[in-house]
Amino acid sequence: MRVVVCVKQVPDQTLIKFNIDTGSLNNIHYIIDPVDETSVSEAIKIREKNGGEVIAVSLGPSRTEEVLRTCLKMGADKAIHLCDEIFDNLDVYSVSTVLARQIASLKYDIILCGRESMDEGNGFMGAGIAEWLDLPLVTSVTRLDVFADTMTARVHRRIKGGDREILEAPLPAVFAVESVLSKPIYPPLRTILAGLKKQIIKVDSQSLGVDKNTLQPLTSILSVSQPKPRLKKTATIDSKLTAHERMKLLMSGGAQQKSSKTIEKPPQAAVADIIQFLITHGIISR
């Protein structure tokens, strides 16, 4: 099985901050997108079972090498870095066309990517690549079983309320995976050292045959601003409250008015009330 994994370098979400004074994002520490780490882990597990190779592909400026190095250290066989001036600031649509072009020049059976990246979270990449390469696509994959003899994959797809849909896809195919798919692997030291020595293959627009004019964006980010506080259902502030409590409410952006019901009854009667409450709110029906 030849597995191509699309990886992305993203700013660590837990650290990044929006600076109101400068109007830009601060404290940016780049990491490999956690969901892509999952994909690489899964790809390596597939290779261990069925043989073949794992190729990591990433598009981005020179710092993207770091995530590709991470993939090599995890045990990927090859890493391809799509790096060019004209690749800077592309929208998700253009990135998917460039990635698809690169993947088309490789030999592949399975293409893995994250269902949604941690930074922008468009959730488009899988669909884009599948469309350009005319391949089957399954999104929200939580389990992936590959059958090398029949060249098919049986996949579990997340649907509502923890339910799963089981689908069969002929290979080659694109899978947009969820981070629960696979536990991260801990490679042995030998693999890590070998990963440090491997070459990262650089590909620029010329060798890929991509022209600047063909990269027309479909969406464009005009600005990045401070997040708006989430809208809350605010009622007029209760005049019965003390000044101190009213101030607190105003500063926290208002209070959600709840008609809380307190019941102090013996268990049997209290339970009857709960059941009535659940019925009126449509949670259960008689």
Partner 1 sequence: MEDKGRKNPQELTPNPSSVSVESKGVWFIAEHKAGQLEKTAFLLAGEGKALSTKLGEELAAVIIGSKVKHLADQLSPYGVEKAFIIEDELLEEYTGDAHVNVLSRIVKSNKPSLILFPTTPMGNDLAPRIAARLRVGMIARYTEIEVDREKKLTIRRPIHGGKATATVVTLNKPLIATIDTQLLTVQKAPQANNVQVIETGVKVDPGSIKTRFIDYKKADPCAVCVSEAEIVIGVGKGLSCAENLKAVEELARILGASIGGSRRATDERWISDERRIGLTGKNIAPKLYLICGISGAFHHTLSIKSSQLMVAINKDKNAPIAKLADMVIIGDMQQIIPELARQLKETLK
Interface positions, 213-252, toward partner 1 (CB under 8 A): 216-228, 231
Is 209 among the residues that bind partner 1 (CB under 8 A)? no
Nearer to partner 1, 76 or 130 (CB): 130
- Report the residue from 34, 122, 187, 192 that binds partner 1 according to the rule CB under 8 A: 122
- Report the residue from 62, 239, 242, 268 that binds partner 1 according to the rule CB under 8 A: 268
- Report the residue from 9, 139, 179, 205 that binds partner 1 according to the rule CB under 8 A: 139
Is 118 among the residues that bind partner 1 (CB under 8 A)? yes
Which uninterrupted H or E stretch holds 77?
none
Q: What is the spatial distance between Cα 41 and Cα 34, in angstroms, rounded to a whole number?
A: 11
Nearer to partner 1, 201 or 241 (CB): 241
Q: What is the spatial distance between Cα 78 and Cα 22, in angstroms, rounded to a whole number?
A: 40
Rg (CA), the chain: 25
Q: How many CB atoms lie within 10 A of CB 119?
A: 17
- Report the residue from 193, 201, 247, 274 that binds partner 1 according to the rule CB under 8 A: 274
- If phi > 0 it is left, if psi is from -120 to 50 it is alpha, else beta; for residue 253 that is left
Residues contacting partner 1: total by CB under 8 A: 89
Cis peptide upstream of residue 136 (ω within 30 degrees of 0): no
- Report the residue from 170, 184, 188, 253 that binds partner 1 according to the rule CB under 8 A: 170
Q: 45 near 183, Cβ under 8 Å?
A: no
Name residues contacting partner 1, limited to 53-82 (CB under 8 A).
none
